[in-house]
């Protein structure tokens, strides 16, 4: 079996739960946050940095690895785990979002998507079958069905057609799989329309995937819409299968999504914000370039046990950032990734101990 999911504890007042995902590359405690390693690398960090921060699974991107260096090369060198020196689980997304977001001239047909490479303009056809073949060559533990991503806002009719196409592609992805050691997740779409999300969820669940993702959210809608549509989508998904919210997000949003019943997250926010000098701390955000930190001898977060906080001052980190030293994004990213892993550990412990309601109340207050 490619994936086993066990719910170990459920919160009494919400839909939050903690558990364990078992894959061929190890177990993962859930809820889990996956740092994004778009091109087989979490920017500025090595596998040792990730392991030291407590990371259990990373996400890599099918679109980017398909274009460069190519799935055949990665497969020939032993697969993605060996290629990037990461022995823990890996999730690959389908590349659908990048096909649409990076290519204004992408042409969507029932067969698949014809798109121009953002690297050299070369033309490619990505079909559901090819999407699965690429992900099987990469060798990730969890792979995603090919879906259509719509820009926000989109009309009801455009969203309906897209949702139906995603359902057809999901069926073709299911039929195209050949490996028994990879888990395949289906993706619920349906935009901002409850009835379309209902129809999409029912279509995808009927195909009996190993897990389910909710896509098409956090694309510009309000937070109220996001959590309303998320809860609605999740209500149609099997309780005993892992649920993955794609591309979210802030610490407060993660806590609120866990309360809805989400088990898996990914987002570029920890590392992207770090490269821009924005640190997440127990006292709130810290913008390291601010002049008030020029001679500040304190660590970024006095409650944090990460490598950066144990060894370096705000003054030193500000100096590195202002001087554009390469060490700055590494040290700041180490802290932010560690912060997110500690956040997930705190969420899991709150669910186990009965303290999740208080944690949720704090997140709601912070995001209001």
Q: What is the set of active-site residues?
A: 93, 266
DSSP conformation class of 220: S
| DSSP assignments along 93-119, one per residue | E-SHHHHHHS-TT-EE-SS-EEEE-TT
Q: List the structure tokens of 206.
A: 């009927």
CA 69 to CA 154: how far, in whole Å?
34
CA 128 to CA 42: how far, in whole Å?
26
- Cα distances from 265 to residues 35, 159, 258, 339, in angstroms, run 9, 24, 10, 14
116 CB contacts (<8 Å, ≥6 apart)? 103, 105, 106, 122, 123, 124
Spatial CA neighbour of 210 closest among 174, 254, 246: 174
CA 172 to CA 357: how far, in whole Å?
41
CA 82 to CA 94: how far, in whole Å?
20
CA 68 to CA 251: how far, in whole Å?
32
CA 258 to CA 138: how far, in whole Å?
30
């Amino acid at each position: 079996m490619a994936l086993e999911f066990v719910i170990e504890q459920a919160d009494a007042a919400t839909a939050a739960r903690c558990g364990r995902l078992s894959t061929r590359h190890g177990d993962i405690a859930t809820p889990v946050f996956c740092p994004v390693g778009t091109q087989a690398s979490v920017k500025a960090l090595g596998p040792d940095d990730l392991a030291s921060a407590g990371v259990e699974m990373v996400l890599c991107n099918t679109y980017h690895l398909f274009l460069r260096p190519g799935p055949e090369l990665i497969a020939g060198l032993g697969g993605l785990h060996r290629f990037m020196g990461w022995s823990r689980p890996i999730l690959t997304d389908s590349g659908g979002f990048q096909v649409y977001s990076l290519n204004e001239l992408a042409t969507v047909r029932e067969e698949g998507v014809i798109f121009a490479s953002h690297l050299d303009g070369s033309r490619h056809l990505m079909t559901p079958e090819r999407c699965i073949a690429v992900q099987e060559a990469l060798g990730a533990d969890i792979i995603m069905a090919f879906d259509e991503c719509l820009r926000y806002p989109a009309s009801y009719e455009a969203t309906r057609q897209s949702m139906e196409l995603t359902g057809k592609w999901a069926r073709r992805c299911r039929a195209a799989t050949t490996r028994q050691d990879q888990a395949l997740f289906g993706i619920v779409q349906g935009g901002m329309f409850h009835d379309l999300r209902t129809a999409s969820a029912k279509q995808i669940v009927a195909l009996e995937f190993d897990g389910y993702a909710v896509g098409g959210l956090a694309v510009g809608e309000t937070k109220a819409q996001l959590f309303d549509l998320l809860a609605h989508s999740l209500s149609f998904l099997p309780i005993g299968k892992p649920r993955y919210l794609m591309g979210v997000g802030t610490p407060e949003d993660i806590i609120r999504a866990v309360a809805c019943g989400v088990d898996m997250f990914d987002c570029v926010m920890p590392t992207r914000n770090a490269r821009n000098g924005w640190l997440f701390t127990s006292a709130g955000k810290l913008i390291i370039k601010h002049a008030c930190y020029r001679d500040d001898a304190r660590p970024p977060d006095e409650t944090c046990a990460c490598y950066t906080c144990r060894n370096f001052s705000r003054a030193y980190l500000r100096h590195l950032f202002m001087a554009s030293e390469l060490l700055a994004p590494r040290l700041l990213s180490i802290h932010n990734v560690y912060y997110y892993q500690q956040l997930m550990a705190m969420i899991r412990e709150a669910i186990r101990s009965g303290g999740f309601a208080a944690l949720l109340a704090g997140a709601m207050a912070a995001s209001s």
